[in-house]
Chain A
């Protein structure tokens, strides 16, 4: 016992203030790590991705396969969700006719020739020449934007092509251009350049810019597939493209193109 007691008495002498400082440093480090944990995942996660919280998915050419929602499937219970989106304001009450009272029925029938609202010739406002900021919507900026796709929804032969857009304006207004880009690259992809056994089921993602004249630039591999021949075939597809036609608007766009090798 006495041995332990002497040890206990000696310890404050030997470690003294250094021990306190060490504990303080540990607390600092822990606090810094906690701060990192708060900030890092939220940002790292959606770099380069079409994460729903960053940009709305605007265009898709997949009809059969709906775009996967990037948001964790918390749905159903709004209250249980962590990232609670602010509830949309209740839509302003339409100036609806108050339902007629039973006594009014006769009068209503007399004033009957109230024509139903015309549906067909909705005058489309001529779109402006330059991209306009999208009017704010009450919709939450999450994956559900994928359900209101303006672009020609198309299934390309024997596979899928999809476009996601972070600039809502371009994707809405010039959806056709993205489809042309998608088609042109796909037409220039010679799948027989890829080794079938090594490439089956693999995906490679290529990044490139399209300049004002419609020429692809800065072609580089974003995510390798693990099959060098598939990576090369995807690069060759881009190198074969001589141009997509002048951009309808803007100075340049960046496209992230995924080649999904699936041979039947």
Chain B
């Protein structure tokens, strides 16, 4: 608190009353004595010139403290997942595994911080701990130490327990990584426990699949025959998608992850596609052609009390809500010919066009409400240069940057809940069955594939 100078200043600069000079002088003198006492204790001075580096973090190999044969594979999965999670976060300067000391400290009393803080590791922080499998239970003790503060090294310690399996070892590593990021990320929440839902093509059928954010643990969810464009609800309980019925055309489908079955969604006879959840989970925007032209409609998650918000000639599809406010919708409209990116208020007012040309598709609104990611082919037409790539536009300024270059056809970007990552579909040779799911940091770096070919239309969970 600034109490010292702020209280002292006005008092001493106030003109002294001529009628009570003694009183004023006494007040002045009293202020001189009191001011230091009023100074609050928690006062820090920080300073910067230009730029800042990343925190250097070392991850020790965890100590296996049980003889159970299941320990080793669990530990291998845990170590790899933890390292990858912290590396994927893009927050840390992670010490290469070649440079970390070979010791595997299992607890606070076993670690020699000087080993870690000295060259070549030079770590500022060390994550370490032990892992045991006993009687079908896996127990992990994780520690995070400030390697350069030998007096009070420990930042936190956590214990995790679950039934023993490699998958659970990975989930525990995700939890521990998120805890580290919560402490060291400077306000950034980790995404290691989030999920990605996507479309997997096998033969002629397409189904919704789910996986961990790092591509592990892929599993099928729906069994409808043909389901695309999954959208997970903000509370992770339901997935809305578009499904192709036998004689009804495209309809909205709804799958409950709690009941593990499809639940009812009131469709009309016409085509209904591209659902999008409002951030409160109480509304669903989608494109419906029940009035003849595809328009944006908003209904509740059961499909009832639907109302139309757009009324333009030409198709209006692919809505996405502003997740920060829940009051705006971005969508793709073809009213001027080729599809372009637009935004409006959720009641249909205040329409603005954002792209100036080309062929724009698949918008996704960033969690902080500031950016739109979308796929864009800026020079569309036969013989035009370039291709379809992922772009991010700042809505306030309409400035955009291109995130993918020359990597083949890219589509369906989706934001991670921390707003620092994007997941998208990429086909390096343009063939639909070669499409795989890639992820990158939102500045276009650290691109890597999460799945093999045959997967498309990713959607990142809200948390």
Contact = CB atoms under 8 A, between A and B. Distances in A.
A258 B45 contact: yes
A162 B44 contact: no
Interface residues on B, range: 35 or more
B322 to A, nearest CB: 17
Contacts of A156: 48-49, 51-53
A256 B147 CA distance: 25
Nearest to B1: A254
Contact of B53 (A154, A175, A248): A154
A258 B187 contact: no
A163 B149 CA distance: 14
B48 A256 contact: no
Nearest to A242: B187
Nearest to B42: A253
Contact of A167 (B33, B41, B53, B108): B41
Interface string A14-45: 00000000000000000010000001100100
B55 A183 contact: yes
A186 B148 contact: no
B52 A183 contact: yes
B186 A245 contact: yes
B154 interface: yes
B44 A178 contact: yes
B112 interface: yes
B36 interface: yes
B305 interface: no
B48 A152 contact: no
A121 B46 contact: no
A56 interface: no
A40 to B, nearest CB: 7
A263 B108 contact: no
A123 B188 CA distance: 33
B367 to A, nearest CB: 11
Interface stretch (B2-10, B405-413, B454-462): B2-10
A179 B46 CA distance: 9
B463 interface: no
A157 B108 contact: no
Interface residues on A, range: 35 or more
Interface in A200-228: 207, 209, 214, 218
A176 B155 contact: yes
Interface string B1-39: 110110010000000000000000100010011011001
B146 interface: yes
A214 B51 contact: no
Task: Name B's interface SS.
Answer: loop
Interface in B130-186: 146-155, 182-186
A4 interface: no
B5 to A, nearest CB: 5
Interface in A135-176: 150-154, 156-167, 170-173, 175-176
A184 interface: yes
**Of listed A176, A182, A207, residue having the most chain B CB within 10 A:** A176
B300 to A, nearest CB: 31
Contacts of B392: none
A48 B55 contact: no
B187 A244 contact: yes
Contact of A260 (B40, B44, B48, B150): B48
**Of listed A153, A156, A241, A263, residue having the most chain B CB within 10 A:** A156
Contacts, number: 202
Given A179-B124, A245-B185, A162 B32 contact: no
Contact of A254 (B40, B47, B52): B40
A152 B124 CA distance: 6
Contact of A163 (B35, B44, B150, B151): B44
A261 B184 contact: no
Nearest to B2: A207
Contacts of A154: 53, 124
Contacts of A151: 148-149
A122 to B, nearest CB: 9
A126 interface: yes
A263 B109 contact: no
Contacts of A255: 43-46
A50 interface: yes
Given A167-B43, A245-B185, A254-B2, A43 B32 contact: yes
Nearest to B181: A245
Nearest to B35: A43
A256 B152 contact: no
Nearest to A220: B2
Contacts of A180: 55, 184-186
A129 B125 CA distance: 19
A244 B35 CA distance: 30
Contacts of A10: none
B204 interface: no
B236 to A, nearest CB: 23
Contacts of B49: 156, 158-161, 259-262
Contacts of B52: 156-157, 161, 182-183, 185-187
Contacts of A95: none
A99 B364 CA distance: 79
Given A167-B41, A245-B185, A256 B46 contact: yes
Contacts of B124: 152, 154, 176, 179
Contacts of B2: 48, 207, 218, 254
B291 interface: no
Contacts of A55: 43
Given A156-B51, A186-B48, A175 B149 contact: yes
B50 interface: yes
Nearest to A169: B41
B4 to A, nearest CB: 5
B149 A245 contact: no
B53 A48 contact: no
A249 to B, nearest CB: 10
Contact of B50 (A209, A241, A263): A263
Contacts of A248: 155, 183
17 contacts: A39-B33, A124-B150, A151-B149, A158-B49, A165-B44, A165-B45, A167-B41, A176-B149, A178-B44, A183-B53, A183-B54, A245-B183, A248-B155, A255-B44, A257-B45, A260-B48, A262-B49
Given A43-B35, A159-B50, A162-B45, 15 more contacts: A32-B25, A50-B45, A121-B112, A150-B148, A157-B50, A158-B51, A161-B48, A163-B44, A176-B124, A186-B52, A241-B186, A243-B187, A245-B182, A245-B184, A255-B44
Kindly list the 7 A-B residue pairs having the minimum CB-CB distance in the complex, ordered from nearest.
Answer: A159-B49, A186-B52, A243-B187, A152-B148, A184-B186, A253-B42, A258-B47
